Amino acid sequence: MLPQELNLDVGGYFSYYMRMSGKDKAIPLNITEINAKLLLERAVIPFEEQMAEKEIRLIKKIENENLKIHADAGKVLWILVSYLGNALRYTHRWGSVTVGLSEADGQVVFSVSDTGNGIEAQKLEKIFQTDPIFSGNTEFSATGIALPIAREIAEAHGGKVSVSSLLERGSTFRVHLPVVK
């Protein structure tokens, strides 16, 4: 089951995250059974036109169309949209973005790969760590906070996030969530 309308309240997630900084960050979840393929397809929709305008090829690699997860659809969608937004931002004209769905070790693995510049190895180690950036007037800047939020959402679901990258070749961001048997 996939809700018709999913709330992508990015500002709300940032506000929530900042309110919870330094506290127990238990993320409230609205868990339902979801078809993972439908969720991935829903995440791609807002980016199709932008990718076409930038002449970026979208590739879909769905290994199993029937994988299901117990998850908060809106929050997992938020992770995928965040990954896709970064992929679009860092992929050059005529590059490609690949979205994938597979199963490994009892986990559904969503992946978003790009053909951008890649990320330096020393930065990969810290990419999902919390390091909020504040401007001089103490207002929060969204730069760099989406990936730590993605990690916390995945962990709240009993899952994890991961990344692999090669300079000048691109990056692959993944979210691993327990599969429903």
Q: What is the CATH number of the domain that holds 88?
A: 3.30.565.10
The better pLDDT of the pair 3, 60 is held by 60
In a 10 Å sphere around its CB, with 0-12 CB exposed, 13-18 middle and 19+ buried, how is residue 69 labelled?
A: buried
The domain tally of the chain equals: 1
Tell whether 5 is covered by a domain. Answer: no
Backbone angles phi, psi at 79, to 5 degrees: -60, -50
Domain that residue 36 falls in: 10-21+28-178
Tell whether 111 is covered by a domain. Answer: yes
Tell me how far apart the alpha carbons of residues 93 and 52 are, in angstroms, rounded to a whole number: 10
pTM of the model: 0.83
**Amino acid 16: pLDDT:** 52
